[in-house]
Copies of this chain bind each other. A is one copy, B any other.
Amino acid sequence: MLFVLFSILTVGAYGSFNILPVVPFPQEAEMFSTNRRSLNVEEFRITTDQGHLLEDKVISSTINRYQHYFSRFKPGPLSPDGDITQVSLSVVYPEASLFIGVNESYTLNIDPHSPIVKLSANTRFGVIRGLETFYQLYNITDGTFPSVKIRDYPRFAYRGFLIDTSRHFLPVESIEMVITGLAMAKFNVLHWHIVDDPSFPYYSPSFPSLSEKGAYDSNHVYRIFDVLRVISFAENHGIVVVPEFDTPGHTLSWGKGLENFLTYCPGQGTFGGDYGPINPSVDSNYEVLHKLLAEVTSLFPGGFVHLGGDEVPFKCWQSNQDLVAWMKQQGIQTFNDLESYYEEKLLDIVHQLNTSYVVWEEIFNNGLHIQPDTIIHVWKGKWEDTMGKVIKAGYKTILSSPWYLNYISFSMDWKKYYQVEPYKIPGATPEELSLVIGGEACMWGEFVDATNILSRTFPRASAVAERLWSSEKQTNIGDMEFRLNKHRCGMCARDIPAETILLRSYCPVEFDGYDW
């Protein structure tokens, strides 16, 4: 094989050269030539010299997926330099398991002459990222690839997306479609806000009454089988599932299945009901939490749990005279102190479980005693100030404030998401900034369920994904618009109803994924 480099054109970060329609844009890309390679659809195989790799569940499911996607395309015209027939994989550390921060780097080499494309990755998860880049480089219309060498890795370790299955239930299939779209944008964390006030759809073997009483009905429950299916599907896409059990507020649905768990406060509850947050004075509540969190942390393999802690209303606690009397007895002066009392007991439990955790920013803002490896999840306004304080205090942090994708608007709001820079924190030192480990787009469930979550999420979330994966110099809006449009068409061709971002446009393969 001849490796003649016609010329090396630098594309990449400065985005002046619109030939690589990849989102998120790779860290480094070199064009070998302007000649394009065609895909030999019929002979095409993804292979490896490391035979044992094929026995791996993540690798084999990934290979199957991409072979299936390419098998749906029609053969393109013959390339003058011969067709591509293979992608050959190699992995340096095949045994690495999935965690937030696992090495996702890869190099992808589409040589101008060889029929074999080389994809080398540090771990199996880099293979997933590299094959997605390979898919996106394919031009559906003419069936060709550019001749290019890509070296790629994420800028941030935490690139999350929140789904909320309490306000509206999402069938497992719908969650799988979301994960498929997230993987196309190289997200690596699915934050599963699984329970909240409206419903408790998680089936707990330790406390079956929680979903029996707290779910909308028996059809709106995630059983162990369903949870494992989501976790496994996500792992095959290089995505860690972080479950959230938000307490002590946002727990109304828990109260239906557990006696004496919530604070009784007639007419003073969160929604003017008879119950409010968890009652911190009841010792058995901490036993419940311990047992439940032990179960959850052993079920979800990601090593992280999200403990919530946001928006705790005090009105209910205040109105319960027994609780107020108990506080006096304990020497707890304020309701803020009461919240701290609860949280410190909760955090002790989680420390005992040897699990890391993410918490909403209130836990930090209220000055609670937290473990050094805690991630503070910033979601309120003035995020630069809050994150500045968090990193000065030495904690890791992730950003969501500007990325509440459940808020929708008529026009192209992806630009607004794209223009956010998580490092724009006044006065922060480079060392402090290294504690900004990423961000998360949130799709809260007030008006979202299986009918619209895909079109509302994609490709808007991909603008956030690029901010979190690509170089911080990758900021050209026009360049991104061009790539994002191609990216959404690639999603449509893969049966994800990703909506248009242009006033007038079409896709070579339109979305055609209804069972109609």
Contacts and interface: CB of A to CB of B under 8 A. Distances in A.
A516 B167 contact: no
Contact of A177 (B177, B506, B516): B516
Interface stretch (A63-71, A236-244, A447-455): A447-455
A495 B510 contact: no
Nearest to A215: B506
Interface string A492-516: 1001011111011110101111111
A126 B454 CA distance: 37
Contacts of A3: none
Binding site secondary structure of chain A: loop
A495 B516 contact: yes
Copies in the complex: 2
Nearest to A407: B410
A75 interface: no
Contacts of A408: 408-410
A268 interface: no
Range class of the A interface residue count: 35 or more
Contacts of A216: 506
B411 A506 contact: no
A421 interface: no
A488 to B, nearest CB: 8
Interface in A461-516: 492, 495, 497-501, 503-506, 508, 510-516
A449 B491 CA distance: 14
17 contacts: A168-B500, A198-B504, A217-B506, A219-B510, A407-B410, A408-B408, A410-B447, A411-B447, A447-B501, A448-B499, A449-B500, A450-B512, A451-B492, A451-B500, A495-B515, A514-B514, A515-B516
B449 A499 contact: yes
Contact of A171 (B447, B451, B510): B510
A56 interface: no
Contacts of A501: 447
Nearest to A411: B447
A169 interface: yes
